Amino acid sequence: MRQSCRAVAALAATAKAATLADLCTVANVQSALPANGTLVGIDLLPSTVTASPVYNATGGMSSTATYTYCNVTVAYTHTGKGDIVNLKYALPSPSSFSNRFYVAGGGGFSLSSDATGGLAYDAASGATDAGYDAFSTSYDEVVLYGNGSINWDATHMFGYQALGEMTQVGKPLTRGFYALADDTKLYTYFEGCSDGGREGMSQVQRYGEEFDGAITGAPAFRFAHQQVLHVYSSAVEQTLDYYPPPCELEKIVNATIAACDPLDGRTDGVISRTDLCMLNFNLTSIIGESYYCAAETSSSLGFGFNRKRQAQGSTTSTTPEQNGTVTAEGVAVAQGIYDGIFNSEGERAYLSWQIGSELGDAATTYNNETDTWELNIPSTGGEYVTKFIQLLDLDNLSDLNNVTYDTLVDWINTGFVRYYESLQTTLPDLTPFQSTGGKLLHYHGESDSSIPAASSVHYWQSVRSIMYPDLSDEEALAALQEWYQFYLIPGAGHCGANSLQPGPYPQNNMDIIIDWVENGVQPTALNATVSSGVKAGETQMLCQWPTRPLWASENATSFDCVEDEASIDSWTYTFPAFKLPVY
């Protein structure tokens, strides 16, 4: 026993002294692969291994740094299935490897196709083609084999399985590659936003014991609710039979920001407290204000395959000058959108974007022949309904004829049940992750106009109540903070800063989670920097949910993090339109 320990230590020392070229060989990678039977259901194919050093490459997370790493590819098949899943890994030089494995999230309907994201953190990392060519194909392109026929393999792989398996293979591969001693910890991290945030939640929920730290931003989870929400704005316009000029909605958003910015105690261009805006501001006060947007011409080249087609496809579209005053109808559309989805019984089916968020999904299209603004259905939502609900291989709904709010609720319910196990991604019991020491940093831009910030709040509340059913809210909060922390980012949009509200955005989340995981430093705030606007350069230490920021005065340089029951209540939802619990 002692001897083998010493042998392992000697090997590890050798690996540390080894150069990248020494380790980056097909034979070394093959010998590091987990043997068939070790990972039940995953048969690695050693003959597919490639390994070659890459020196001084640009890329990874930084545009200036260069990276040197071993570029590894390998395929596996699911036992007895005959499929092929291609993996790639980037393993840093032994001299700059810090015993870390890193998984990056993708976005939209894509998994990350880049394996080099971990290099900036001295981590090995990987990417998977999920068995459906995910390096170059978006999952929505393959979700149907044809009308009515769902590709469940791709659905489960995209949903959670591909990243979990890439991690399960990548960790022993990394250990073997560097000959890590058995008692050396390989710290494993996830980082992603939007669908990447959903992917991170899928890993925390399904492969919790594999991960030590996860950073999940604005997760696109509660998938059925989230995707149908993307057609809700159009449905409001159709129901109210009012198609606002985009400039009118822009004005409503701008006027809301101007009115609600001071409610948090400081006038800095940012609604740091959308809850106070919701509770204290009435959109009807904007009626009658004037708006103006200049005419705009935009050209697109089209996507023709030959020159002739391309010439035909190239289009110039012009939106006219928009000059008017905000109408009661325009305000009713905005209010309806911010209120969220209800069925005809008045039962809530879903929440919505915080007041003051942009209303992008509500953008209408200009018809230059009739000189009117018309219904435009965002394909984010339309494609979900056609492909995932109606199971028709179409890229968008063509209209909303006969579509009522009850229809939306039916669509949600269909998607909720059909993809409950694959895409919904809201399992609230994180015990395997928590009990093996996992740490979760979850954040969301408060004025996200794509995925509502309240969607994240609801999941946090679900985890709290499911995991700590017998504790008071205060006790549960204290227990949760030790491993799962949630932060709202004032003014921020979807996975980034928001030009309409130039506020803070977190800069060094990975530093924070590495310190938490590897050094036991439990965060008390997220470190965020304001990059533009009147407060450009200011650092704000963001409040941990459920505390909320409040500036003591206009001249304050930092806010207090306060408890405010009425505000928390305004973020708290139930969804009686469904019989199933909505986590």
Ligand X SMILES: *[C@@H]1O[C@H](CO)[C@@H](O)[C@H](O)[C@H]1NC(C)=O
Candidate residues 99, 527, 544, 547; the one interacting with ligand X per rule CB under 6 A:
527
Separation of alpha carbons 373 and 28, rounded Å? 63
Q: Least CB distance from residue 458 to ligand X, whole Å?
A: 21
When asked if residue 46 is in the footprint of ligand X (CB under 6 A), the reply is: yes
Contact of 45 with 72, CB cutoff 8 Å: no
Judged by beta carbon, residue 322 or residue 426, the one nearer ligand X is 322
- Alpha carbons 536 and 162: distance in angstroms, whole number: 41
Q: How many CB atoms sit inside 10 A of residue 89's CB?
A: 26
Q: Smaller CB distance to ligand X: residue 98 or 539?
A: 539
**How many chain residues interact with ligand X (CB under 6 A)?**
51
Integer Cα distance of 323 and 333 in angstroms: 19
Instruction: Give the residue, chosen from 317, 372, 435, 558, that forms a contact with ligand X under the rule CB under 6 A.
Output: 317
- Measured between alpha carbons, how far is 295 from 320 in angstroms, rounded to an integer? 4
Residue closest to 158 by CA, chosen among 115, 136, 194, 129: 129
Name the minimum Å distance from CB 201 to ligand X: 25
For ligand X, the closer of residues 46 and 176 by Cβ is 46
Rounded to the nearest 10°, the torsion over CA 512, 516, 519, 520 is 150
275 is catalytic: no
String marking each residue 529-568 x if it binds ligand X according to CB under 6 A: x---------x-------------xxx-------------
Of the candidate spans 250-258, 356-364, 414-422, 429-437, the one that interacts with ligand X by CB under 6 A turns out to be 250-258
Contact assessment for residue 228 and residue 415, using Cβ atoms and an 8 Å cutoff: yes
| Least distance from ligand X to the Cβ atom of residue 279, Å | 9
Site membership for ligand X, residue 291 (CB under 6 A): yes
Residue 36 found at the interface with ligand X (CB under 6 A): yes
CB of 435 to ligand X, least distance (A): 29
- Phi then psi dihedrals of residue 315, to 5 deg: -130, 150
Return the residue of 48, 71, 465, 547 that touches ligand X, per CB under 6 A: 71
- Residue 98 is a catalytic residue: no
194 noted as active-site residue: yes
Q: Please, which of residues 357-376 interact with ligand X by CB under 6 A? A: 368-369, 376
- Shortest Å, Cβ 56 to ligand X: 4
CA distance 338 to 410: 20
Least separation in angstroms between residue 484's CB and ligand X is 20
Q: Is the peptide bond before 546 cis (omega within 30 degrees of 0)?
A: yes
Taking the C-alpha atoms of residue 155 and residue 144, their distance in angstroms, rounded to an integer, is 10
Handedness of CA 492, 494, 497, 500 (dihedral sign): negative
Q: Which residues contact 451 (CB under 8 A, 6 or more apart)?
A: 194, 218, 219, 220, 226, 444, 494
The only residue of 138, 168, 254, 481 in contact with ligand X, by rule CB under 6 A: 254
Active site residues: 194, 448, 494
Contact set with ligand X (CB under 6 A)? 35-36, 43-46, 50, 52, 54-56, 71, 73, 77, 146-147, 247, 250-251, 254, 282, 284, 291-293, 315-317, 323, 368-369, 376-377, 379, 382, 392-394, 396, 398, 401-402, 500, 507-508, 527, 529, 539, 553-555
